Each structure stands twice: as C-alpha cells, then as structure tokens.
Structure 1
Amino acid sequence: MTDQQTPPTAAEIDGQPPAEMEKAHPWAELDPEQFSLLRLAPLPIDRHTGPRPLRFIQMGRLERQSPRQSLLRLTLQLPGQRLRKEQNVLEVWADHRQKLLRFAPDDGLHLEPENRGLGRFILAQAIAWARRHYSHYQVQGAALPSRDAFSEEARARRDHCLQAQGFVIEYLDPLQLKARYGTPRVSTLHSDWNADKVQIVELLDAAGMLQQADQNLREQESKLRKLSERIDRFRREDGSLRFTITCLVAFCLFQAGLLIWIATR
C-alpha cells in the first residue's frame, strides 16, 4: 500500500523527538482501512478486573509505506463504548534509513477491557507484520511506565505478556518499579498468542454464527409459544376446577344445613 501524502523531510524529522514527530506526521490522523471481528472468550470472574463475559470487538488496521518510513497502526474498538484517543492503539514505525523498528505509544499500551488476552494478541499482530517485512531490523527499546506495576499481580501479568512475545525486561531498581523492555532484532520476537482467549472471526464464520443464533432464537420462540399455550390451558382447567370445587362446597354446606334442620325438627 502506498501513501497518499508526502511525509515530512528528513531534516524536519531529525529535529523532533519520535513522539512529537508522529503527532505532526501526515499519517497521524488517518483512520483504519481494514477491519476484523474479534471474539473474546468468556473467562472466570477476576477479583481485580471483575466479570469477563463473552464479547465481540472490532480491530482496525492501517498500513502506510514510503521509501523512508513504514507504519502499522492497530486499533481496538468496543461497541457502545467510547474510549480516549490514546486507548486501544498500537503503532509500529519502521525507519528504513537506520533499519530500526519502534513500538508506540511511548507511554505503553492502554487496553480496555483488561485481562482478556488483548495485550498479547495485538502485539502478536504487530510482530507478524514486522517479521514479514523487516525481520532483520533492530528493535528500539523503551522504558515501561511505572503505572503498570502498581501491584505484584499487574506487574507479573505485564511481564508475562512481553516475555511471551520475545521481549527482554530489565529492571533498573531493587523495587522493580523502573524497567525497560527491548530485544536485539525483530526476528527474535514471537507472533503467537493465546487463541483460547482471543479469536479472529472470519466473515463467513460471523455469518454462520448469526444464522445459528437466529435459528436458536426461532427455536426458543417456538418453545416459549408452546409453553405459553400450555400455561393458558392449565389456567382454564384451573378455573373450571375452582368453579366445580366451589359448587361442591356450596352443595355440601346446603346438605349439611338441611340435615341439621331435619334433625332438629
């Protein structure tokens, strides 16, 4: 895929930090062009993140290529839920002059919903793209935000996500609050993820799921209609029985009164 706009000149790029360069880049505001449906499998309730029911979300994909740079941007969109601009976004920038690959944003991934396997999945998609095109490039390491280590469990979950994809984590202090991630080359990274948690649903599979859901709904409606008819029939029979019982009680009372009257005459 070729870019439609001319990127900034080399002098303009060299004079800015990477984050500022990307904000001013003509590719920065482009919307996704390809979309995939993701299925998040239902998982047991987590004591920190709460319920984890079955969910379907959308992944958007944008690719741009130029002689100097390449970009892959992946976004995760949740139906009926608005997110901040920096949430659910992962970018991979390839610098062809320096043979260098960099992951963005610099302040780390902000993924929602949490603890659903999305971290490994979105990293795996980015790594697969990078290995396919730039496996010999070096990977620029970066500092990990300390907010990801607010608890031992959150830090362990973050480290497992990165290490499972082939990144090396280095801690800079005894308390393990300051850390950096990195890896020598793109070829050392792994593009697999936990497919039991996140699955890509193809178009025909999605259509089949909708068809099956519609069939199940019709079957449930038929069962509900039959149950409703049985309940109505039982109610009619119950009304008839109540009327019969009332008549019998009244007749018994009349007979008892008549016998008492005859006995006292």
Structure 2
Amino acid sequence: MSTENVSKINHLMQSQPHGIVFLSSWLSKKGYSLDLQKRYKKSQWLEPIGTGAMKRRGDKVQIEGAIFALQQQLNMSVHIGGKSALAMLGKLHYLEFNKKEVILFGQAHEKLPKWFLDYHWEQKVKYHPSNFLPQHLNIIAFEVRNFSINISGPIRALMECLYLAPKEQSLVECYDFMEGLNNLSPATVQAILEQCNSIKVKRLFLFMAEKARHSWFKYIKYDNIDLGKGKRSVVPNGVYLPQYEITVPRELVNHKSGI
C-alpha cells in the first residue's frame, strides 16, 4: 500500500473515536473510494460487519457505536428513547439500563439499514418510527465512553413511554417515571406539549403531572395546548377522567407510588 493511502487511513483512525461503525457510503464521500476501502480491508485496517458497514480491526462495536454512525454519518434522527433513555439519564434510582433490550425512536420515514438489523447486538432492538414529536425537540447529547450520541431528554423520553402505552409500556410504570421528574422547567414542558401531536400522550402526561403534584404543573397553560375534542379510551372498562376526557386503568388511578 502506498504511503499516501497509509497516511489517509491513519488520519481516519486518529480523527474518529474507537468503538464506532464506519459506513462505506460516508467513507466514499470523504474521499475513500470503494477500491481503497477494499485495500484497507485486505490490509486488515478495517473489518466488515455487514453490507456497507465496517469497524476497526479488533474493535468491539456496541449498539451505541452503530447509532453514532446513523446519526453522524447518515444524518438520521434515530435515537435511544423511552424507558431506555430514562435509564441512561439516571432519572430513577430503581431503573437500570436494560442490557437485553434497547428502545429506539426515529422519524416515521426512517428505516434501519440492513447491516444494523442483521448484526447480532447484545440487546434486542425495538424500533418505533413516528412523527408524534418534532425531530430535534428535547434531544440531548449523551456521552458514551469516548464519543457522544443523541438520546431523548427526560420529557421526550416519558412522552415516548406514553406513546407506547398501554400495549408496550405499563401506564403504572409511566406514572412512576413521572414522579421522578419533579424538577422540570415549566416553560420547557409547555413548549414540548404544544408541539406534541398525540392527543393521548398530552392528556396522559397532564393527568400524571397533576396526580404527582409537581410544583411546575401549576404553571402549565392549558389554553395553548391542543387537547383535541371528545372522549378517548386508553383501556376498556377503566376509570373515566372527565377533566381530561380519557379512560385509564383503575390501578393507575389508585396507584400511589412506585418509588
């Protein structure tokens, strides 16, 4: 291999963090031709992990390193969200990051690449594409070892939990999550509620915030939030809450605390 090509691969290795995925399409845009990429693989600088995806030789790539590539190299909005994000943020002392499952959210038009779906990650991946919240709203940078990825902030993460409820997320557990969010900024909560387009999520969020008696709740301006019209039933044979025109599980109404 020529000195120039060795210099180029050295620059790549030094400029990018360990533990990430390198995408062939991104490398091509950076001036690393497909032919050059083949040489790097033949010289064992890079190892393929799937079609169009590689890693450093000897690197152990975890799912965060793949998400880094989706976000930084493909400019996708796919991020860790819901209960997984709340666990990473350490918002609830009894909730640990689930090593067997990770919850991902992204915009409705985004599909996970084949290499991502085919790779054997340590965790089972549950991906939920949806436009119920704007792409960049309450997304924060989170440090993972020697690089950072975007994950849901606490308000968005809870709303993602509510979005999945009750089929894929317990509403009682959602309330326990809400109890842990006692230091939120009313202005931030207000802005996110106003931009959320899921009526179910907004009604449940407000009900739980009121039930938890958070100090920030009294500053929320209902008139600026579109809560829709008409009754909504989250579960059959539950308790109807006239203020929010929604039917919820009886155990949620009677639930006091999960902490």
TM-score by length of 2: 0.25
More strand, by proportion: 1
